[in-house]
């Protein structure tokens, strides 16, 4: 029998609940909860990707929403052109093309901005990633061809082999499956030699240099991987909402992603997923009570920062873990 600690059980139960509950609710005609769960799982993927660099790499990226936006526009722009003509190079509803674009463009953006941002440290890094995120936001806001600020409606979802994303159940299955794979991928990365160097650079970069490693290269690689995964989450989100706008990239969205990771617990496998779940559920519950739901939400955020160390996963940790 596999011996499991408390966090292991929480992870298992949480992931099982996400696998079973939403499809059951959908079968009982509760499509609303399926919608909620799909959004939750997609944002959880983004949060897991952020946790790779924020939690394990100690790199506080405040511009991660830009990758979500890039991924979503990688669905929206080709779909738009396949419908209305123009830009023949990418005009297509082929999901594999969308996917390649989402991941490729995000990785490229991460490579370019990361190469510059990672030359800085600490608070400079926080602010410069935030500024690059805003740069992407303003770029798409000024692109009149894609309706600028008003956003773009995706008329056709990505066409994938074997899957029909118009079916909520299949979209959820894809999103959930992706979340599991991404969590396993991040776990594999973290436990690899690469991951050990990355975490070592977080604790003491000079020691890593002395040991003959170049932290910059490791950090940049992690940043690109994280950006690419987040772009993939954007690909799913675009297909889920079928409406995309620059607002997806706004710096407050990046702040929300960071909050999910911190709330759930940095440097844990399930923390970002838990954080994203609580975030989405709270948002839903509070906003149903009052239009001023940002007030209790903001107070709670301050409370979490002041009083909960190590996030919610920290509460489940036993002694000596």
Partner 1 sequence: MDYTLLIVQMLNGLQLGLLLFLVASGLTLVFGILDFVNLAHGSIYMVGAFICASLTLWLGNFLLAVVIALPLTGAVGYAIEVLVARRLYDKDHLDHVLGTFGLILVLDTLAHMIWGPAGITVPLPAWLDGQVEIFDGAVIPTFRLLIIAVGLAVAGGLFWLVNYTKLGMLIRAGASNRTMVAALGVDIQTLFALVFALGAMLAGLAGMLIAPITTASIGMGGQIIITAFVVIIIGGIGSMKGAFIAALLVGVIDTMGRSFLDSGFALFMSRDAAETAAPAVSAMMIYILMAAILAFKPQGLFPPKVR
- By C-beta, is 66 or 103 nearer to partner 1? 66
Distance (Å, whole) CA 74 – CA 232: 10
* Rounded-to-integer distance, Cα 8 and Cα 278, Å: 19
Both tokens of 77, joined, read 């722009």
Rounded CA separation 73/23 (Å): 28
Sole binder of partner 1 in the list 29, 85, 122, 320 (CB under 8 A): 122
* 219 vs 272: CA distance, rounded Å: 20
CA dist., res. 106 & res. 126, Å (int)? 19
Closest distance of CB 119 from partner 1, Å: 5
- Structure token pair of residue 268: 């844990």
Of 127 and 169, the one with the shorter C-beta distance to partner 1 is 127
Q: Residue from 12, 13, 27, 119 that binds partner 1 (CB under 8 A)?
A: 119
Contacting partner 1 (CB under 8 A), which of 32, 84, 138, 243? 138
Identify residues 192-251 at the interface with partner 1 (CB under 8 A). 251
Please state, as a whole number, how many other Cβ atoms lie within 10 Å of the Cβ of residue 45: 28
Backbone angles phi, psi at 152, to 5 degrees: -130, 135
DSSP state of 250: S
Residues between 59 and 118 with contacts to partner 1, criterion CB under 8 A: 60, 62, 113, 116
**Interacting residues of 231 by C-beta distance below 8 A, sequence separation 6+:** 67, 68, 70, 71, 74, 102, 103, 105, 106, 107
Distance separating the N- and C-terminal Cα atoms of the chain: 20
Smallest gap from Cβ 204 to partner 1, in A, equals 16
Q: How far apart are CA 38 and CA 171, in angstroms?
A: 8
Site for partner 1 in 273-312 (CB under 8 A): 292, 294-295, 297-302, 304-306
Give the shortest CB-217-to-partner 1 separation in angstroms: 17
> Between residue 244 and residue 273, which ones bind partner 1 under the rule CB under 8 A?
251-252, 255, 258-259, 262
Number of residues that bind partner 1 (CB under 8 A): 44
- Where does this chain touch partner 1 (CB under 8 A) — which range of 30-38, 123-131, 273-281, 312-320? 123-131
Q: Compute the distance between CA of residue 35 and CA of residue 30 in angstroms, rounded to an integer.
A: 9
The phi, psi pair for 308, rounded to 5°, reads -105, 105
Reading phi first (left if > 0) and then psi (alpha if -120 to 50, else beta), residue 267 is in left
Of the pair 18, 53, the CB lying nearest partner 1 is at 53
Q: Which range of residues in 68-76, 133-141, 172-180, 280-288 is near partner 1 by CB under 8 A?
A: 133-141
- Cβ-based nearer residue to partner 1, 232 or 259: 259
Residue 31 and residue 168: Cα distance in Å, rounded? 8
**Choice between 228 and 258, CB closer to partner 1:** 258
With contacts defined by CB under 8 A, name the span among 37-45, 126-134, 188-196, 273-281 that binds partner 1.
126-134
Give burial (CB, 10 Å; 0-12/13-18/19+) of 252.
exposed
Q: Which is nearer to partner 1, 75 or 258 (CB)?
A: 258
Q: Which of 5, 120, 164, 287 binds partner 1 (CB under 8 A)?
A: 120
| Candidate segments 25-33, 54-62, 184-192, 270-278, binder of partner 1 by CB under 8 A | 54-62
Q: Is 184 in the site for partner 1 (CB under 8 A)?
A: no
* Closest separation in Å from C-beta 214 to partner 1: 16
> Which residues in this chain contact partner 1 in the complex, by CB under 8 A?
54, 60, 62, 113, 116, 119-124, 126-128, 130-132, 134-135, 138-139, 141-145, 251-252, 255, 258-259, 262, 292, 294-295, 297-302, 304-306
């Amino acid at each position: 029998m596999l011996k499991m600690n408390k966090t292991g059980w929480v992870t298992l139960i949480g992931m099982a609940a996400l696998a079973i509950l939403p499809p059951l609710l959908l079968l009982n005609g509760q499509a609303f909860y399926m919608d909620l769960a799909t959004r939750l799982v997609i944002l959880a993927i983004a949060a897991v990707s952020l946790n790779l660099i924020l939690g394990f790499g100690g790199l506080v990226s405040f511009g991660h929403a830009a990758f979500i936006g890039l991924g979503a526009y990688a669905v929206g722009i080709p779909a738009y052109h396949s419908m209305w003509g123009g830009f023949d190079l990418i005009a297509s509803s082929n999901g594999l093309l969308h996917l390649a674009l989402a991941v490729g463009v995000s990785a490229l953006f991460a490579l370019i901005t990361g190469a510059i941002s990672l030359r800085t440290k600490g608070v400079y890094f926080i602010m410069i990633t935030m500024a690059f995120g805003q740069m992407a936001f303003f770029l798409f806001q000024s692109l009149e061809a894609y309706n600028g600020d008003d956003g773009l409606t995706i008329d056709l979802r990505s066409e994938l082999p074997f899957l029909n994303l118009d079916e909520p159940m299949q979209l959820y299955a894809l999103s959930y499956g992706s979340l599991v794979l991404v969590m396993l991928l991040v776990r594999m990365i973290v436990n690899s030699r690469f991951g050990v160097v990355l975490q070592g650079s977080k604790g003491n970069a000079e020691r890593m240099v002395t040991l003959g490693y170049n932290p910059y290269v490791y950090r940049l690689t992690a940043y690109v991987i994280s950006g690419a995964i987040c772009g993939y989450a954007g690909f799913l989100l675009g297909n889920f909402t079928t409406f995309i706008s620059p607002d997806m990239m706004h710096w407050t969205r990046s702040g929300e992603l960071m909050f999910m990771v911190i709330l759930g617990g940095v440097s844990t496998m399930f923390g970002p997923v838990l954080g994203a779940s609580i975030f989405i559920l709270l948002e839903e519950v509070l906003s149903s009570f009052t239009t001023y739901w940002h007030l209790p939400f903001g107070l709670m955020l301050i409370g979490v920062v002041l009083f909960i160390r190590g996030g919610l996963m920290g509460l489940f940790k036993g002694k000596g873990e």
